[in-house]
Structure 1
Amino acid sequence: MTSSPDGGDGPAGSKLRAPGLRAPGLGLLLAEMRSIFEFNASLMMSPLLLRAPKGDGHPVLALPGFLASDLSMAPMRRYLKELGYDAHAWQMGRNLGGLTRVRAALRERLAEIHANAGRKVTVIGWSLGGVYARDLALHAPDMVRYVVTLGSPFANDIRATNATRLYEALSGETVGEDPEFVKALSGDLSVPTTSIFSRSDGVVNWRTCLLRPSASAENIEVYLASHVGLGVNPAVLWAVADRLSQQEGQFSQFDRSGPFAIAYAPPERAQS
């Protein structure tokens, strides 16, 4: 079978490359309102979430999604700080898009955190923020320890989102106009990376979030998560904490056992 325009089944290789995907339908988009329940669930489960592996104090830079500000990443930064990480906001106001416009400032922010800590920085990006995170790893790998993306459209047909037209209108950029950049962005990074996504994402077609699994790269699918709720979903928070607890320079695939095991799809499902 081959990949269909609406993201039908096909070989793993074709799905990572094939154009012609569609943005999620109206039903999934309207269902994004469930994100408030994901946030409330994380609050209720905070004692359990704090049982995650403790951090080693290394710096973490959290990048918000399109139209969001540092406030959207505040729950994750607070959680990571409580676990022992040195979590930082991007401090660039609301994310109105435009990678070429913010690229220099982002590198300066990364360099500042890296210099102050004297350690490499893990970069976590939500949606568009994940695209920024991968771009940082491409151009400043000497300062990046790890990349985690949450519902970020960096692969396949990256126009398959419900935010593409608004992004282009506000940023003045055309999504996917530079094939070489898109190829580099979706390719293998020189640092460990994890892509967390959900098939029930109402903003981004989940296939645009798939990276090529390798000895230092993995996809983690979370059942029933919304796009807007990815940064506060308790199963996502647990997975992020688990991934960040790995020692620098080491990587092992995510163990889907534990208190939120029921929330994670088996790894092979990301390729089916």
Structure 2
Amino acid sequence: MDTRPKLDDERSLFDRLGEFRVLLELGSIVPALPALMQAPRGDGHPVLVLPGMLADDGSTFVLRRYLQALGYQVHPWKLGRNWGPSTAIREGIRTRFKELSDRYHRRVSIVGWSLGGIYAREIAREYPALTRQVITLASPFGAGYRIDGEPSAELAARLLPAPPVPCTAIYSKSDGVVPWEACLEQESPQTDNIEVQASHIGMGVNALVLWAVADRLAQAEGRWKHFDRSGLARHFYPETK
């Protein structure tokens, strides 16, 4: 049986043009900062942040600085530009992850943006005992796209199941780059999906995304729970349908 999600591979012109929202998203950070700093404080555990396709650590600067301000030990991947899957990239992420695990003697949380989220899930699948949780930002792990851009049913079948650690997928239905349906975790006690109004390239600077990431990372180790949409949150984070 084909377990892949049904995908609308044709992004509408409206969705693609909507990627220009990144300018508004970036501009909203400063006025949103007082509210963002009310997010739960971190417990100092290490967090590894992985950039998306064709991006580098500069793209995750805002996200990393925000999480540092909340009290986490946040680290870039230090592998240059993300040119796509390769032996060097896979070995580099593995080495970086294990280095942080050994340095802090604590489980590492991994935040991955787009293709970086696919890497994050695979590292967690390989090292579940060393991984605290995974958070993906608009990561189309359910599409099974190869590096040439063509879909692969075999690859999707391998990537779609979540690794055996808490996993949260943050996605936008107006994503102008990847099909949002491919960015959803399958429902389970250890998975969650959080919808936000965001562009694909603005995920790392969107205030709603930043708050959701902070909320997820603040879950006590061993006591992870699903995202709470009660109170004011229900106005900004709709229930996943």
Choose the corresponding residue for 2:204, options 218, 231, 234. 231
User: Could you tell me which residue of structure 1 aligns to residue 144 of structure 2?
Assistant: 158
Tell whether the 8 Å contact from 2:36 to 2:211 is kept in structure 1 after alignment: yes
What is the DSSP-based 3-state SS (H/G/I as helix, E as strand, rest coil) of the residue aligned with 2:198?
A: coil
User: Could you tell me which residue of structure 1 aligns to residue 123 of structure 2?
Assistant: 136
Shift of 1:256: 1.7
User: Could you tell me which residue of structure 2 aligns to residue 109 of structure 1?
Assistant: 96
User: Could you tell me which residue of structure 1 aligns to residue 15 of structure 2?
Assistant: 28
Provide the C-alpha distance between the structure 2 equivalents of 1:150 and 1:17, rounded to a whole number of angstroms.
19
What is the DSSP-based 3-state SS (H/G/I as helix, E as strand, rest coil) of the residue aligned with 1:80?
A: helix
What is the DSSP-based 3-state SS (H/G/I as helix, E as strand, rest coil) of the residue aligned with 2:135?
A: strand
What is the DSSP-based 3-state SS (H/G/I as helix, E as strand, rest coil) of the residue aligned with 2:119?
A: helix
Provide the C-alpha distance between the structure 2 equivalents of 1:112 and 1:100, rounded to a whole number of angstroms.
18
Provide the C-alpha distance between the structure 2 equivalents of 1:200 and 1:80, rounded to a whole number of angstroms.
25
The answer for unaligned runs of 5 or more in structure 1 is 1-12, 169-173
Provide the C-alpha distance between the structure 1 equivalents of 2:231 and 2:38, rounded to a whole number of angstroms.
11
Choose the corresponding residue for 1:252, options 225, 228, 232. 225
What is the DSSP-based 3-state SS (H/G/I as helix, E as strand, rest coil) of the residue aligned with 1:123?
A: strand
User: Could you tell me which residue of structure 1 aligns to residue 157 of structure 2?
Assistant: 183
User: Could you tell me which residue of structure 2 aligns to residue 8 of structure 1?
Assistant: none
Provide the C-alpha distance between the structure 2 equivalents of 1:176 and 1:141, rounded to a whole number of angstroms.
27
1:148 aligns with 2:121: no
Q: CA RMSD in A?
A: 2.0
Which letter does structure 1 place at the counterpart of 2:115? L
Shift of 1:20: 5.7
User: Could you tell me which residue of structure 1 aligns to residue 42 of structure 2?
Assistant: 55
User: Could you tell me which residue of structure 2 aligns to residue 264 of structure 1?
Assistant: 237
User: Could you tell me which residue of structure 2 aligns to residue 240 of structure 1?
Assistant: 213
Provide the C-alpha distance between the structure 1 equivalents of 2:214 and 2:5, rounded to a whole number of angstroms.
32
Shift of 1:176: 4.5
Provide the C-alpha distance between the structure 2 equivalents of 1:48 and 1:75, rounded to a whole number of angstroms.
16
Shift of 1:177: 4.4
User: Could you tell me which residue of structure 1 aligns to residue 26 of structure 2?
Assistant: 39
TM-score, normalising length from structure 1? 0.83
Tell whether the 8 Å contact from 1:138 to 1:185 is kept in structure 2 after alignment: no
Provide the C-alpha distance between the structure 1 equivalents of 2:231 and 2:72, rounded to a whole number of angstroms.
21
Q: State the identity as a percent.
A: 44
What is the DSSP-based 3-state SS (H/G/I as helix, E as strand, rest coil) of the residue aligned with 1:225?
A: coil
Provide the C-alpha distance between the structure 2 equivalents of 1:98 and 1:197, rounded to a whole number of angstroms.
22
